[in-house]
Structure 1
Amino acid sequence: MAVRVALVQLTTGRDLEANLDLVRNGIREAAARRASVVVFPEASMRAFGNSLVDIAEPLDGPWATAVCEAADEAGVVVVVGMFTPGNADTVRNTLLVHGRGVHTHYDKIHLYDAFGFKESDTVTAGTEPCQFTLDGVTFGLGTCYDVRFPALFTANAAAGAQVQIVCASWGAGPGKAEQWDLLVRARAADTTSYVLACGQSDPSAAGVDARRGAPTGIGRSAVVGPYGKLIERAGDGPEILYADIDLGVVEEARRTLPVLANRVTL
């Protein structure tokens, strides 16, 4: 049996309630198309380039609770980027996962201190990989800059993940789109997993003002098969991609190309 997943590419802004409405609308539309798992980008709670410490809340706070209620009402699992309190005057860049008996979260491990941006100034890094299972399919989680670090995705696969979810708000710039495309395909090939990469859409394509220099998204969400072949790719504006996850494809790939079984710890 296949599990249908929706990747909701959107652009969020400063206003939490407006962003929550975008998430609710995406959940409703994806559920109407029979998706079981609905994935949203990193920073869905509030876009980068805005203050984050003042809106960070625990996983049972009002914004997170509203998302959980929407997931429960629709009967789906939601994966959504938000911000929870970190150490001192920082936040954690968190993926909330909730619905159909699943409730967990992942805190971004690799912080984006690159291309002139310094995420570690405002964000406390996570320390532990995270996976969840629905209908016999195990999903591993990663956030944006994490996609440059293969060991996280190998750890997810070693823990049973057949699907890797990457939620992002990818920074624009020369060569950045090409790097994103390469990296999401590479993580599929080196773990023989599906990769579901859901990014913020380009603010200019969504008609949203964004702070210049902040990593606010380029679109190009993607579904990649376990050999690294691109299956679907979004454009730069708001869009929903759908993928039907067939575990038989993963099993066949892992028999044919047993990179996980053949790997050597150096």
Structure 2
Amino acid sequence: MRIALGQLASGTDTAANLRAIDAFAGRAAAAGAALVAFPEYASYEKKKIDATFPAAAQPLDGEVGAELSRIAARHRVALVAGVVESSPDPARAYNTLAAFGADGGLLAAYRKIHLFDAQGFQESAFVAPAPSTDPVTFDVGGLRFGLLTCYDLRFPEQAQALSDAGSQVLLACSSWVPGELKTNQWRTLLAARAIENSLYVAGVSQAPPVSVGNSLLAGPMGEVVAELGLDPGVLTADVSPDSMAEVRRHFPVHRQRRLR
């Protein structure tokens, strides 16, 4: 199956962000992708999370969700994008990944579990953590995709739970905050989660200056299958269940694990 990663430079103009998503989804579909993933906070982003995020929040069936659904259906491609979702607390939103099928139907919604209270940031001041820590997956074209967001990459047990739930591709939709060695950590953690679980990990990030760019697809041996640089753009690459099965035949860690 061919998948695509749409590396954006989202800002506070939600309408402009949606137009960029539409254009990139069209490019992904034209390249033969069955699914295109966009970064965390694809619909609304700025360098520091503040009170404007819950102010911009909408329910998943609001205008932003409806437009993402239309984009997926228009291009006949499954689509995953980070949105700011309303929560029961008006002062805090959910940081949500919404997945839509090629028919526009909602396939899954993942609310970020591990909030970025690190590196001088306090995401939890304006964002509520997911009420559930259950793994969130969905199926497209016979493959199972697992969802995680940015800081979640630093918690290997979450990727393992998604793998145990049958995921063959993890979509790590991110706005990876820049800093010392952060690009190196981004690439290393994507590869590590792939190697640990013998699956594909697709890391799609916002472009600089908000984030580090370098969206990439890591294969089940940790190899970089394809990678973007710093500019916004669309990456397409193929994922192979047969390759994943071959790696698991050589390294049967799923059967050998003793710690539960």
Q: Percent identity?
A: 37
How far 1:87 moved relative to its partner? Answer: 3.9
- Aligned equivalent of 1:4: 2
Which one of 215, 239, 246 corresponds to residue 245 of structure 1? 239
Which one of 173, 177, 189 corresponds to residue 183 of structure 1? 189
- Aligned equivalent of 1:121: 125
Decide whether the 8 Å contact of 2:69 with 2:106 is kept in 1: no
Q: What's the secondary structure of 1:52's corresponding residue?
A: helix
- Aligned equivalent of 1:230: 224
- Aligned equivalent of 1:22: 20
Q: What's the secondary structure of 1:190's corresponding residue?
A: helix
- How far apart, in 2, do the equivalents of 1:115 and 1:86 lie? 25
Decide whether the 8 Å contact of 1:9 with 1:199 is kept in 2: yes
- Aligned equivalent of 1:156: 162
- Aligned equivalent of 1:219: 213
How big is each residue's C-alpha offset from its partner over 1:196-233, in whole Å with a ceiling of 9 and x where there is no partner?
Answer: 10000113xxxxxxxxxxxx211011111101111222
- How far apart, in 1, do the equivalents of 2:111 and 2:229 lie? 27
Q: What's the secondary structure of 1:177's corresponding residue?
A: helix
- Shift in alpha-carbon separation, 1:182–1:141, aligned structure 2, 3 A: same
Q: What's the secondary structure of 2:79's corresponding residue?
A: strand
Is the aligned partner of 1:82 residue 2:83? Answer: yes
Decide whether the 8 Å contact of 1:102 with 1:132 is kept in 2: no
- How far apart, in 1, do the equivalents of 2:259 and 2:84 lie? 34
- Aligned equivalent of 2:204: 198
- How far apart, in 2, do the equivalents of 1:103 and 1:139 lie? 11
- Aligned equivalent of 1:112: 116
- How far apart, in 2, do the equivalents of 1:108 and 1:6 lie? 22
The residue identity in structure 1 corresponding to 2:172 is V
Q: What's the secondary structure of 2:81's corresponding residue?
A: strand
What runs of 5+ residues in structure 1 fail to find an aligned partner?
204-215
How far 1:134 moved relative to its partner? Answer: 1.1
Which one of 98, 101, 107 corresponds to residue 99 of structure 1? 101
- Aligned equivalent of 1:172: 178
How far 1:55 moved relative to its partner? Answer: 1.2
- Aligned equivalent of 2:11: 13
TM, length-normalised to structure 2: 0.94
How far 1:102 moved relative to its partner? Answer: 5.4
Decide whether the 8 Å contact of 1:77 with 1:102 is kept in 2: no
- Aligned equivalent of 2:71: 70
Decide whether the 8 Å contact of 1:6 with 1:241 is kept in 2: yes
Decide whether the 8 Å contact of 2:150 with 2:172 is kept in 1: yes
- How far apart, in 1, do the equivalents of 2:8 and 2:182 lie? 19
How big is each residue's C-alpha offset from its partner over 1:19-77, in whole Å with a ceiling of 9 and x where there is no partner?
Answer: 11011111111111111101000010111336111111111000110110110111110
The residue identity in structure 2 corresponding to 1:238 is P
Decide whether the 8 Å contact of 2:147 with 2:171 is kept in 1: yes
Q: What's the secondary structure of 1:197's corresponding residue?
A: strand
Decide whether the 8 Å contact of 1:87 with 1:124 is kept in 2: no
- How far apart, in 1, do the equivalents of 2:40 and 2:88 lie? 20
- How far apart, in 1, do the equivalents of 2:136 and 2:219 lie? 21
The residue identity in structure 1 corresponding to 2:148 is G
Which one of 96, 108, 130 corresponds to residue 136 of structure 2? 130
Q: What's the secondary structure of 2:73's corresponding residue?
A: helix
Moved more, 126-135 or 142-151: 126-135
Decide whether the 8 Å contact of 1:9 with 1:240 is kept in 2: yes
Is the aligned partner of 1:37 residue 2:35? Answer: yes
Q: What number of residue pairs does the alignment pair up?
A: 252
Q: What's the secondary structure of 1:165's corresponding residue?
A: strand
- How far apart, in 1, do the equivalents of 2:14 and 2:95 lie? 16
RMSD between aligned residues: 1.2
